[in-house]
Chains A and B, each alone.
Chain A
Amino acid sequence: MKYCMSCQSKSVVFGKTKIKVGREFFETNAEHCSICNKVAISPKLQKQIDEWALQFTKSIIEIQPFFSKKMSSRIEFYARSFNLNKSEFMKLCTAFYLLEMTRLKNFKTLRENIFIESQKIFNGEKSKICVSIKYQLFKKITLYAEMWNLEYESNVMEEAVQFCIFILDNQSGMIEESKKIKLVNFVEYHAMAS
Chain B
Amino acid sequence: MLSENEFIKKFQSAKSHFERVQIYIFEQRYQIWMRGDKPNLNGNEFVKPILNLPINHPCIYRQRKTGGLGLRFIIEFRYSVAIFGAIKKIYFKGYFTHDWTLKLEVQSLRDNNEV
Contacts and interface: CB of A to CB of B under 8 A. Distances in A.
The residue in B39, B65, B68 that gathers the most chain A C-beta atoms within 10 A of its C-beta is: B39
Given A2-B66, A3-B65, A143-B45, A21 B39 contact: yes
Question: What's the dominant secondary structure at chain B's contact region?
Answer: mixed
Given A108-B85, A147-B84, A8 B42 contact: no
Nearest to B95: A5
Given A8-B66, A39-B34, A149-B110, A46 B83 contact: no
Question: What's the dominant secondary structure at chain A's contact region?
Answer: mixed
Contact of B93 (A5, A44, A104): A5
B84 A20 contact: no
Interface residues of A, number: 41
Given A19-B39, A43-B28, A104 B66 contact: no
B45 A37 contact: no
B12 interface: no
Interface of B: 28, 30-45, 65-68, 81, 83-86, 88, 93, 101, 103, 105, 108, 110
12 contacts: A2-B67, A5-B67, A20-B38, A38-B33, A38-B36, A40-B32, A41-B32, A46-B43, A102-B84, A143-B41, A143-B83, A147-B81
Interface of A: 2-6, 8, 12, 17-21, 31-32, 37-46, 49, 98, 102-104, 107-108, 111, 138-139, 142-144, 146-149
